[in-house]
Amino acid sequence: MRPRENEQTGPLTAFLMADHRRLEKLLQSAVAHVDQIDRGAYEQFRAGLLRHIGMEEKILLPAAQRLRDGEPLLIASRLRLDHGALATLLIPTPTTAVIATIRGILEEHNILEEGPGGLYEICDKLAGSEAAQLLAKLQAAPEVTVPALRHSYGDEHRTPGTGESWL
């Protein structure tokens, strides 16, 4: 989703939307061949999405809450639920079904963040003169160290963990 025409895109919106597009391209590359998932592209997507989620969970949402005198955004709890679900889906071996589920969640989730009145627009407005400083913090967010993907064989015998500890 693009911001409305004639509306200037704020720096936080521009940066985070560009990262969404980058992640979409990586996921697209991972499934470019019908019968084989490109593990290299998927690994980059997985690390990138976890870093992106980390930027929002650890930097953006707390900043928004601080700028609202400690009041969390109404949208924050829904976004956090989505982030938890996405992180968990990034744990197992990527199958077509897992990737379809991730895409389904991201489609709605990205609208809530990018759309008019969404998270990014709200944050640009709240940040005001602090936007550049907040952007620098997002840009400096560390890469996320993720465990290697599990092998397909035996996945069903392992207890699914939660991805939240990576965030």
The DSSP letter of residue 166 is: G
**Closest approach of Cβ 83 to Fe ion, in Å?**
6
Contact status: 56 vs Fe ion (CB under 5 A)? yes
The DSSP letter of residue 55 is: I
Nearer to Fe ion, 19 or 38 (CB): 19
Q: Which residue is nearest to Fe ion (CB)?
A: 56
Residue 118 contacts by C-beta under 8 Å, 6 or more apart in sequence? 75, 111, 112
Nearer to Fe ion, 37 or 91 (CB): 91
Residue 26 near residue 45, CB atoms below 8 Å: yes
Nearer to Fe ion, 32 or 111 (CB): 111
Query: Interface residues for Fe ion in 113-142 (CB under 5 A)?
Result: none
**Closest approach of Cβ 113 to Fe ion, in Å?**
5
What is the C-alpha end-to-end distance of the chain, expressed in Å?
A: 26
Residue 138 near residue 130, CB atoms below 8 Å: no
- Binding-residue pattern over the window 8 to 47 for Fe ion, x denoting contact by CB under 5 A: ----------------------------------------
Nearer to Fe ion, 56 or 124 (CB): 56
For residue 69, which phi and psi values (nearest 5 degrees)? 55, 40
Residue 166 near residue 91, CB atoms below 8 Å: no
- Contacting residues toward Fe ion, per CB under 5 A: 56
